Structure 1
C-alpha cells in the first residue's frame, strides 16, 4: 500500500522512466493504480500527433475508464495522477522527440543508468549524459551520445555511436566513449572499434584508446579492464585541473571558482564519487592548494 501521495508520485515517475526495482514494481501493482495509468498510456499510443483535441481526449478517457470499471470507485487522487501523467506525456512531446520516434535517456547529477538497446546490447550511461536513438532500430542503427557511456555490444550486431566531435562504428565489442565539451575519447575493452573524426579513421583493439587533440586523433594504451567510473571513482594522469573539476561537478553539487593562478596545475590521481570531502582532499592536498568548504558547498580558496 502507498503511504502517501508523494510516495505514489515518486513511484509513478520512476515507472515512466522504466527505472523501478522489482520491489517498487510490485508495490505499485498492488496499489491498484497502475492499471488506470496503463489504460491512459495505451490510449495515448493510438493518437495521431501533433493535432490533439485535449479536452475531447480527456472526456473519452474518463468515459472509457468508467465503462471498463463500473463496479470500482476511482478516487480523486487517482484521477489527478492520471491527468498529471497525461500532461507529462504531452510535455514530453513538446519538450523532446519522445513521441516523434526517438527514445532518449538522460542522467542527472551523480546518476548512472543501465539501459538495454533493442538488439540486446547494454549501455551504462554516466552522470550528466544522454543517449538517443530511433524507435525503428533495425532501419536506423545510429545512437547519439552526449557525455560518457560504456557499451557492451551483442555479438554480430552493428551500429554507430555519433557525437558532436566524431563517431564510433562497432561490431560485438566492449568500449567506452566520452564526448564532454571539447573532449572526444574512445577506449576499446574487447573486440575492435573504428573511430571516425572528419577525414580521419582509426581502428582500435583491446587495450587501445584514442582522443582528439587539436583536431588530430592520437592513440595511446591503457591497462584497466573496465572504465574507472564504473567502479565509483575518477582517475587522471597529468590532467589539467580545470578538467578534473569539470568531472568532479558531474557527481557533486558544488560551487567552485578556481583562481587563475591554479588553472595550469596538472593533476595525477583519483577521487571517489560518494564522499565529497574525501574527493576534495584527494585532489587539492597533493597540489598543496588550501581551501574552505562552506555549508552551502561553495569552495573558498586561501
Structure 2
C-alpha cells in the first residue's frame, strides 16, 4: 500500500523525517489536510538556505515588531516645559517671600551694653534715653496705638498725640500715656517694676487691672510674683532725662549690686543671704568701681557688711 506521505516527497528532507514520526498517531483525513496546509506554507530547501532572502525575512519580522511596539501618541519634548518652569518657579517663590515680608511690620530694635547710655528718637518723634544693658523694640510705623517693648530701664519723653495713646509694655506691666515724661525700670533680674513720673500723668496696669494713676514725683513699684504694690513720692526727678548719677531710694543691697553690674564690667557675689537693708543715696558712675565700693562700704558698716575685691572684675560681699 502506498504511504500517505508519498505525494509529499518534494518537501524538504528534515520535514519528511518529522512527519513520518508523528503521522502514525493521527487519523488519515486529518493528516492529509494538515500536510496540505504545511506544503502550502513551507518554502523549498533552496529558499530556506538563501542568505539574502533570510535577511529580508528577518527585516520584515523586525519591522512588524517595531510597528506593533511603537507608541501610538505623539511624543512631546519636556525640555521647553522644564525651561519655563525653571524661570517661573523661582519667581513664584520670591513673590511668596516678598508677600510674607509685606505682611510682617518692620521692627526697630535698640540696645545698650554695660555702662552705655543711648538716646533714641522714635517714629513719632518721642525721645527715649536707654540706660545700661537695656533693650527697646517697636514697629517702624505706629498704628492707632504707639506701643513699645522695654527690657531694662529707660526714660521716655513722649510726643503729645491724644488720638494715639503711647504704651510701654515692660514685662507684665503696661504704662499708658498721652504726652508726658517718665522713667520705667523693668529688668527681668529685679523682683519689681518701677515707674517714676517726671511730668504729666500716666496710668499703670497689670493685665486688665489698673494699678494706679501717677502724677509728677509719684513712684510706683509692683512685684508681679507677689502682687505687692508700693506707691511713694520721689524727689530725684529733676535730672531724669539725661541723668548720669545712680540714685537709690530705699533700695535693697541686691538691687544696688545689680545696678552696679549694669554700669561696670564687674560681678558681685553674696557669701550669705543679704540682710534686709534699705539704702538711699546717689552714686556717680564716672568714679571707678573701687571708689564706688569704698562709698558703699561706708553705708554698709552699720549692717556689719563689707565688699572685698577678689580680682579686677570680681567682688565679694561678706
TM-score normalised over the length of structure 1: 0.63
> Which residue of structure 2 lines up, in the alignment, with residue 74 of structure 1?
none
Quote the Cα distance in structure 2 between the aligned partners of 1:286 and 1:50.
63
> Which residue of structure 2 lines up, in the alignment, with residue 144 of structure 1?
149
> Which residue of structure 1 lines up, in the alignment, with residue 176 of structure 2?
169
Q: How many residues align?
A: 211
Quote the Cα distance in structure 1 between the aligned partners of 2:253 and 2:96.
47
> Which residue of structure 1 lines up, in the alignment, with residue 114 of structure 2?
109
Cα 1:217–1:266 shift into 2, 3 Å: closer
Q: Say if 1:256 and 1:298, in contact at 8 Å, map to a contact too.
A: yes
Instruction: Please list the CA deviations of residues 142-197 of structure 1 after superposition, one character each: whole Å capped at 9, or x if unmatched.
Output: 10001111011112253111111200111110111111223211111111111111
- Among candidates 219, 236, 253, match of residue 209 of structure 1: 219
Cα 1:300–1:222 shift into 2, 3 Å: closer
> Which residue of structure 1 lines up, in the alignment, with residue 314 of structure 2?
298
State the superposition RMSD in angstroms. Answer: 2.7
Quote the Cα distance in structure 2 between the aligned partners of 1:228 and 1:152.
10
Q: 1:211: Cα distance to partner?
A: 1.2
- Among candidates 187, 195, 210, match of residue 186 of structure 1: 195
- 1:196 equivalenced with 2:205 (yes/no): yes
Q: Say if 1:228 and 1:235, in contact at 8 Å, map to a contact too.
A: no
Quote the Cα distance in structure 2 between the aligned partners of 1:159 and 1:207.
20
- Among candidates 285, 292, 296, match of residue 298 of structure 2: 285
Q: 1:270: Cα distance to partner?
A: 2.5
TM-score normalised over the length of structure 2: 0.60
In structure 2, runs of 5+ residues without a counterpart are: 1-93
SS in 2 for 1:260: coil
Q: 1:102: Cα distance to partner?
A: 0.8
Quote the Cα distance in structure 1 between the aligned partners of 2:122 and 2:105.
18
- Among candidates 96, 120, 124, match of residue 125 of structure 2: 120
Counterparts of 1:1-302 in structure 2, within 5 Å, are: 101-139=106-144, 141-156=146-161, 158-181=165-188, 182-201=191-210, 202-213=212-223, 214-226=226-238, 230-260=242-272, 262-275=274-287, 276-288=289-301, 289-301=305-317
Quote the Cα distance in structure 2 between the aligned partners of 1:164 and 1:286.
32
Q: 1:295: Cα distance to partner?
A: 4.3
Quote the Cα distance in structure 2 between the aligned partners of 1:251 and 1:295.
17
Q: Say if 2:193 and 2:222, in contact at 8 Å, map to a contact too.
A: yes
Cα 1:51–1:239 shift into 2, 3 Å: same
